[in-house]
């Protein structure tokens, strides 16, 4: 199967043992109250900041626990993993620290920040396939061909136990904990966290969150067995898993109260909220739990914790998310304005915009644009504003000034 110890079960005791095993090497991350997210969610919300781990994500907990349980013979052989990024870094980091060679297979479109970080820990990175499943298949082939120990990102009891140490920390950090909201990809994280919490304090609700574009656990729960969902793109690449496992499905069925899905725009909004309000950087998967609370997808009452499980986001994606967030909030607007093609026309338009206290950040002329009268030009212009009310005043001023214009959405 997918691990070298198939008879090991995930229990509260195994999670407690994992905690003692990894305690000195893994950060006890903060769990801080968020006034802004609490106000939006309607309940007291704290954020468990696993993006503060040295590798930027929770994955190193499970990877380290698994590595520390390798036999001497397995250590000599070396390890291999397939990952879209965070598991890769966890395995690479802790294998390197223990003098174990590591090979990591990653999809070709993995964000560069994750590829470079993985390589920086000394692992050999192999880019293969268009998605995680293809990378996984290649990693399994290489494990067999090169006699390497395969470390599964979620279908491994010892990896799950390592992730479950987060649950033990939450029970210490939030004594009145009523609910915890956890992102789900393959289900390893929520399986461990839910086991730790439910076996210690059964009354705490555990809610899982998936990207609506890749709801493999939700589909598996409907039919009672793992199913493969179609490949789809999502900004939550860390939880973009097409098929869960029998092990994690069984644990979710036993311990998790509810699984919900969030849309791409909701995840993007959560990333921006965390950045602006909490000054913390989250990747798509890391912001999924917060997205579920901001958009009231999860049924929670009482003190709730959202796991911000990772912060390894590609900077170009982050730039696009910020820009789209500004548009959505009415702080950036793009206009197409028909303008007489004669001296002074652009100056008069610029003066009108300045009089409305808006700031031009980008513009482009187009004299050949279809539908533009000869003697006119089309100005495509992006303007910074302070919100929808200022945009309405600007549009009214343009109309009053005799400018034909359209807002580009």
Three-class SS of residue 271? helix
Q: Say yes or no: 32 and 176 in one domain.
A: yes
Number of domains in the chain: 3
Kindly tell me if the per-residue pLDDT of 288 is higher than 50. yes
- Written as six digits, the tokens of 199 are 């076996």
List the one residue out of 111, 252, 267, 113 whose CA is nearest residue 184: 252
Q: What is the pLDDT of residue 2?
A: 38
Asked whether residue 284 carries a pLDDT value surpassing 80, the answer given is yes
In this predicted structure, the answer to whether residue 4 has a pLDDT above a threshold of 70 is no
> Looking at the predicted structure, is the pLDDT value of residue 64 above 80?
yes
pTM of the model: 0.88
Number of Cβ within a 10 Å radius of residue 30: 14
CA distance 406 to 335: 6
Domain membership flag for residue 280: yes
Same domain flag for 128 and 85: yes
Task: Decide which of 324, 348, 376 is a domain's last residue.
Answer: 324
Contacts 24+ apart (CB under 8 A), 361-366: 361/332
- What is the average pLDDT across 199-204? 98
Kindly state whether residue 238 falls inside one of the protein's structural domains.
yes
**Averaged pLDDT for residues 222-237:** 94
In a domain, 1, yes or no: no
Q: Residue 202: pLDDT above 80?
A: yes
Residues 50, 180 within the same domain: yes
CB proximity list for 80: less than 8 A, separation 6 or greater: 102, 103, 104, 105, 139, 142, 143, 146, 148, 149, 150, 151
Do 320 and 390 fall within a single domain? Answer: no
Q: Is residue 123 part of a domain?
A: yes
| End-of-domain residue from the set 324, 341, 368 | 324
**For residue 369, what pLDDT band results from cuts at 50, 70 and 90?**
low
pLDDT of residue 275: 95
pLDDT at position 325 = 82
Residues 177 and 41 in one domain: yes
**Is the domain of 185 the same as that of 271?**
yes
Residue 143 belongs to a domain with what CATH number? 3.40.50.1100
Mean pLDDT for the chain? 92
Give one DSSP letter per residue of 103-167, joined into a string. Answer: EEEE-TTS-HHHHHHHHHTTPEEEE-SSSHHHHHHHHHHHHHHHTPEE--SSS-HHHHHHHHHHH
Is 191 contained in some domain?
yes
**Is 4 contained in some domain?**
no
Q: Tell me: do 181 and 300 sit in the same domain.
A: yes
113 lies in some domain: yes
Structure tokens at 398: 């343009």
User: Which range among 12-26, 53-67, 313-327, 350-364 shows the weakest confidence by mean pLDDT?
Assistant: 313-327
Closest among 327, 349, 351 to 339, alpha carbons compared:
349
Residue found by looking up tokens 């493969």 in the block: 228
* One domain, residues 252 and 167: yes
- Of 245, 144, 146, 149, the closest CA to residue 191 belongs to 245
CATH number of the domain residue 338 falls in: 3.30.70.260
Same structural domain, 23 and 135: no
Residue 404 structural domain: 330-408
Asked if residue 3 belongs to a domain, the reply is no
* Residue 284 and residue 172 share a domain: yes
Compute φ and ψ for 376, nearest 5 degrees: -115, 165
Last residue in a domain, options 324, 342, 369? 324
Q: Are residues 53 and 64 in the same domain?
A: no
CA distances from 186 to 83, 209, 218, 240, 376 (A): 11, 11, 11, 8, 57
89 and 27 in a common domain: no
């Amino acid at each position: 199967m997918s691990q070298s110890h198939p008879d090991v079960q995930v229990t509260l005791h195994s999670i407690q043992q994992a905690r003692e095993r990894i305690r000195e090497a893994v950060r006890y991350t903060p769990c801080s109250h968020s006034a802004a997210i609490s106000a939006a969610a309607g309940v007291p919300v704290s954020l468990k900041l696993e993006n503060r781990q040295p590798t930027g994500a929770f994955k190193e907990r499970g990877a380290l626990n698994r590595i520390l349980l390798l036999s001497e013979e397995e250590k000599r052989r070396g390890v291999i993993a397939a990952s879209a990024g965070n598991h890769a870094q966890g395995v690479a980091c802790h294998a390197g620290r223990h003098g174990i060679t590591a090979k990591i297979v990653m999809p070709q479109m993995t964000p560069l920040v994750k590829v470079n970080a993985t390589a920086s820990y000394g692992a050999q990175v192999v880019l293969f396939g268009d998605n995680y499943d293809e990378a996984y298949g290649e990693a399994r082939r290489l494990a067999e061909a090169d006699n390497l120990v395969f470390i599964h990102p979620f279908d491994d009891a010892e990896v799950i136990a390592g992730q479950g140490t987060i649950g033990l920390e939450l029970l210490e950090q939030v004594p009145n904990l009523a609910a915890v909201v956890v992102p789900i990809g393959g289900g390893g994280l929520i399986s461990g966290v839910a086991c730790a919490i439910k076996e210690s304090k059964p009354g705490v609700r555990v809610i899982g969150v998936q990207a609506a574009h890749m709801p493999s656990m939700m589909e598996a729960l409907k039919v009672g067995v793992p199913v493969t969902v179609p490949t789809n793109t999502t900004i939550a690449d860390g939880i973009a898993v097409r098929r869960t496992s029998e092990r994690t499905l069984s644990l979710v069925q036993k311990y998790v109260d509810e699984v919900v899905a969030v849309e791409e725009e909701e995840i993007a909004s959560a990333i921006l909220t965390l950045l602006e309000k909490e000054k913390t950087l989250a990747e798509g998967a890391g912001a999924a739990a917060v997205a579920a609370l901001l958009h009231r997808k999860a049924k929670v009452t009482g003190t709730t914790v959202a796991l911000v499980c990772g912060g390894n986001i590609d900077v170009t994606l982050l730039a696009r998310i910020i820009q789209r967030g500004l548009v959505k909030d009415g702080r950036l607007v793009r206009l197409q304005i028909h303008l007489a093609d004669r001296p002074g026309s652009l100056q008069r338009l610029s003066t009108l915009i300045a009089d409305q206290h808006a700031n031009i950040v980008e513009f482009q002329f187009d004299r050949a644009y279809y539908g533009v009268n000869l003697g006119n030009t089309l100005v495509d212009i992006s303007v910074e504003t302070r919100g929808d009310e200022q945009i309405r005043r600007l549009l009214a001023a343009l109309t009053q000034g005799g400018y034909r214009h359209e807002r580009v959405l």
